[in-house]
Amino acid sequence: MSERSEAGGAGSRPLTEDRSEEADGGTRTRRPRTAAAITAAVLFTAVGVVLALTTPWNPLPGDVPGGRVRPDPALDFSPAEIARSRAFDSAINPPAYAGLVVGLLVILALGLSPLGARLIGLVTGRVRRRFLRVVIASAALATLLRVVGLPFDIWGESVLRRYGLSTQTWPEWLLDQLRSLGVSWVITTIALLLLYAVVRRFPRYWWTGAAAGGFVLVVLVSFIYPIAVEPVFNKFHSLPQGQLRSDLLAMARRDGVPVKDVLVADASRRTTSLNAYVSGFGSTRRIVLYDTLLKSPRPQVESIVAHELGHAKRDDVLYGTLVGALGIAGAMCLLYLLMTSPWLLRRAGVAPTGPPGEPREPGERERGGAADPRSIALVLALVAAGTQLGAPVQNLVSRRIEARADAHALNLTRDPSTFVSMQHELSVRNISDLKPDALEYLLWMTHPSGPDRIAMARNWARMHHVPEPPPLRRAP
């Protein structure tokens, strides 16, 4: 009998059938990947178009009589204030940059090598239920990453204490770290449980469920964050009855912004910084003032609240949530392309199982591939890398939106002098960076610098023919 006839004997399949199944498997793999790639491209293009068309690139449009004022810290900040800002920046940057770099290196090392899969296998080795394996793996990785970053967090907190910005004791600070870890673990675990459930349920087209689920989850978290997460870290109470409360609510009515209440956060128990913010949307929207801010003169508080009313009137939180959710949907499609790459899975120590939808072998504990909980380290590494790559764009858009809210505050109060004095006070009390470099703008700066905001106020004054705020620092 020839070799050819032996190959086709009992227990074997014809070569033509093998080739047919290989071709079918390749088609089954290519079709969902092609669809995911097209959808990702469409979603990211949509995000780009929305940002390009809706971002207020010039929040103070029009000609400025006499030309636009350039930001200059020396006009409004004393040499001592400028020196203190530079010294603080030099002290706080090393732990910030070191923590960022080390955190990224650790999660990338875990996700892009077998180390993460081995660690997850070690901590979940005796656990049979899949959802418990996801929960334990999520907790283990979150805890490990927090422990790795803890020395840099302690370093940064020491700097804040040295400059008088932190009022916490070390036990209180550690408790905040545990709270933060708990919140991060809960949100991450819920997201991972939903993701791996979708991967198991729709092995070939799980990117569709992940994209839709990611969109909904981002919106849901943004909606419930003010009532479910913020109270974990701060206590809130309504601004007491009095002239300030009456004036703030009257200003909101004059601005056409429905505000039922203004809340005060007990921020002074952890910081001396001044701040206010708006969070949530719909029935959970709230304007919150730090209790440290209440000691400022009333016109300055009104100037800050007018800025927050600008966010509320434009529904900036809802806008950011929807754009972010759209970006997450695109990211889930991209995640599918990466998580179905045999090369990337093998590099992460996770065995591919063939084309999506291939049935599990009898007695096989894991499906392998994206459905294997040991791939969680790879998922977190890809998410971390994507988040860091997207941060410069988010920061750029955020700075423009914050500048538009500044312009709104100036239009509402028509008091650029108070605006300038408030920005000076914020910069000095918070020891803000008065002249950030390009890297700081890319990585950290979500708001314009103090001198940028002061220059805008002077430009606004020139445009509206009101007295221009003079330099706060008189020339010698």
Cα separations in angstroms, 167 against 109, 285, 288, 362: 36, 28, 20, 60
What is the β-pairing status of strands 262-265 and 286-290?
parallel
pLDDT in tens, 423-456: 999 999 999 999 999 999 999 999 999 999 999 9
DSSP 166: B
| HSE-CB for 34 with a 13 A CA cutoff | 6
pLDDT of the residue at 359: 46
Between residues 12 and 242, the one the model is more confident about: 242
Q: Is residue 251 one of the residues assigned to a domain? A: no
Assigned token pair, 181 = 């870890």
Predicted confidence (pLDDT) at residue 2 exceeds the cutoff of 60: no
Predicted confidence (pLDDT) at residue 9 exceeds the cutoff of 50: no
Burial of 77 (0-12, 13-18, 19+ CB in 10 A): buried
Confidence of residue 279 (pLDDT cuts 50, 70, 90): confident
Confidence of residue 364 (pLDDT cuts 50, 70, 90): very low
Q: Is residue 15 one of the residues assigned to a domain? A: no
User: Which range (217-231, 243-257, 340-354) has the least confidence?
Assistant: 340-354
Average of per-residue pLDDT values in the chain: 90
pLDDT in tens, 182-229: 999 999 999 999 999 999 999 889 999 999 999 999 999 999 999 999
Range 103-141 burial, b when 16+ CB lie within 10 A, else e: beebbbebbbbbebbebbbebbeeeeebeebbbbbbbbb
pLDDT of the residue at 286: 87
What is the β-pairing status of strands 286-290 and 276-279?
antiparallel
Q: Is residue 46 one of the residues assigned to a domain? A: yes
Q: How far apart are CA 332 and CA 379, in angstroms?
A: 10
pLDDT in tens, 23-82: 444 556 688 999 999 999 999 999 999 999 999 999 999 999 999 999 999 999 999 999
> Is this structure's pTM higher than 0.85?
yes
Q: Is residue 193 one of the residues assigned to a domain? A: yes
Between residues 58 and 281, the one the model is more confident about: 58
Q: Is residue 45 one of the residues assigned to a domain? A: yes
Q: What are phi and psi of 276, to 5 degrees?
A: -155, 155
Q: Are 156 and 92 in contact (CB under 8 A)?
A: yes
Q: Is residue 359 one of the residues assigned to a domain? A: no
pLDDT of the residue at 26: 53
Domain that holds residue 310: 29-235+306-347+370-463
Residue 55 DSSP SS3: coil
The arithmetic mean of pLDDT across residues 391-403, rounded, is 97
Alpha-carbon torsion (395, 397, 403, 408), positive or negative: negative
pLDDT of the residue at 261: 87
Q: Is residue 172 one of the residues assigned to a domain? A: yes
Q: Is residue 185 one of the residues assigned to a domain? A: yes
Q: How many domains, in total, are found in the chain?
A: 1
